[in-house]
Structure 1
Amino acid sequence: MIAFAPAAALFVFFCLSVREDRRRFRNAVLLGLTFVSLALGLLARIAHLPSTLALFLVVAVFLVPALGVVALACFLVANGVTMVRKEGGGLGNLLSLLAGLAIFGVLGLALVTALSGSVKLAWMTAMVVLIAAYVAFLFLCFLAYAYLYGRIKVRGDVDYVVMLGSGLVGGDRVPPLLASRLRKGKQIYEAQRARGGAAPVLLPSGGKGSDEKVPEARAMADWLIAEGVPAEHIRLEDRSRTTEENLSLSAAIMTEGKPGYRCVVVTNNFHAFRAAMMARKAGVNGQVLGSPTAAYFWPSATIREFAAVFMEHRGVNLAVCGSLLALGLVLTLVVH
């Protein structure tokens, strides 16, 4: 059972890290490494497995990922076309399309290399594939842990429900994306009151953009009041311009109102894990919950969130990618 020792150790580290704080990106990486180590352990023992189980393992480890990459590329391209048709051609809306085309590009490069028989090109391709594999591994870690983090339930009463703002329609109206957050916050508020708890303060957070007539927090509060929430149960944070400011300024308001406060922060599901990481840095005492998002919007939004997390850890990530690039160039020169 020595083959499974690394997976067991990594799983223990993962559990301890989650227990310490659920809002760390290292939890996602530890989860991914646990599954990789488990797969390697199973492969090391494949000769001792029943033939049916061994065949299933080989298919699961090699064939499924290979077919999955092609299927994913097709899905991302199709989703990118849908995004452009429904949301326009901004860079943020093109992310799923660009990701799908990038996957096809790497697959095409691998095919050309295999057909050419060039050793030099093979080293260059291996370098590109390794960098792509590293980024893909981190993305899958992010995706898997973000899904697990999204399963968090509110336990016990909270003192505040913070709802992060987003852009307004026409300068003063709440769009569907933001309404989803407000609806989720209102559900938490109503559920706590229904079980006999004290009404939490609803804290919409968002300042006034250059193209907006009112602060986002004011429009959010008006939406909540129109939905039946008493105005006295709402407090505004109307100075923030970014998510980081949403959280830090809201934390200051909550600390002033109740130093030992407990809260939940509400945003959309694609943004929940990254917002949780920022909440940790801002010293917010609470977890982040996600509200539903239109299915077609989710892939590009998730890729954008991952790209932001990747760059937040750019020191390590760029060092790894740079090392792989340098290794590939050195090997290419040696072969040449």
Structure 2
Amino acid sequence: MKLSYIIALLLVSLNILSQASITGIVLDQDQKPIDGVVVQYGDLYHEFTTSDEEGRFVIPSKHKSIIQVTSMGYKSKSILVSNIQKNNIIILESAPIELSPVEITPVNANKILSQAIYNIKVKLLTKTNIEYLLHIKQIETHSQEEQEFFIKYISYLDKNDPKRKNIPYVLKLIDIEVIHKLSEENTSVVLRNNIFDLGYHLTRLDDYYIKNNFKVIEAESPDNLIMLSAIPKDDKIKESVNYKLYINKDDTSFVSLHFDANYRDIENNYKHSRGFKYKINKMETNIQFVRDKQNYYLSNCSQIVEISVIHKNKKEENLIFYSNSTSIGTNYTQDTSKLKKINGSTKNVIKMCLDKSN
């Protein structure tokens, strides 16, 4: 084959490849790259990509002739694809969020919250096996009977999908250590039957629950964070609940949540289930994301729940449930193909622990 023919074929191939995608670069007014910019394209803008730390993004050229470019702290832009093909530099104008430590409208607070949750879901770390240590402990306070376990597992996220309510983590079991398990003579029906089921790894993140059950009423700006406070819409429990959500100022990403509630003095708070009635007396939940370069991952998810149970035979039990899942590394490199998949249910994990100990 002649060299001239090979060169011509190569040039044609490169031309076809260049036509298959379009590259753009997003800069601020100081000519500095902006990472994490959301670039939406396609029919109804259902598809998206994000810019890297150099401000660079790539989209298929076959899609709609207009793209939407959005980043918190900047004015959004609609741009013709044909303009990007002529000049691929996109300049975004600054539009910073300014908050004072006073009450703001629920509408504005909710907008900030929605954008912050969307941003963290766009920036979650993918293609990485993150290792966690989970500590589960259950105590029945009358009898002092208890169960306690430590579990190592990994979490893997294949790709970001900010429009999904559920985050499609794949969880796999590494190891189990049983510290305490019930004796053969145990008396606790609650512990023996593993009645209650709680989550230990954050698998759902959206603003639906918050907006439907709480009023996000004010925002403060301590240090580099935006803090949103929320109160329940149910006046009966308004004084019993403390709900704080924290958002990074620099990229408006949701980073942590603190929730604590004391329902002990609220009357007629029992719910009925399978031959017994129960009520939650106290609950505390903490969720924390940390940044890894330009991305985030779940660093900690913990909760303490105190529950009162009354059985059909009038027997009363009080259960304290504790779970704490903490990341211990983002560089798990061992083969995970043979590890057993698990779900985010404590009931499922406790059963696995008990099966191993028998």
TM-score norm. by structure 1 comes to 0.23
> By percentage of residues, which structure has more helix?
1
> By percentage of residues, which structure has more strand?
2
TM-score norm. by structure 2 comes to 0.22
Which is greater in Rg? 2
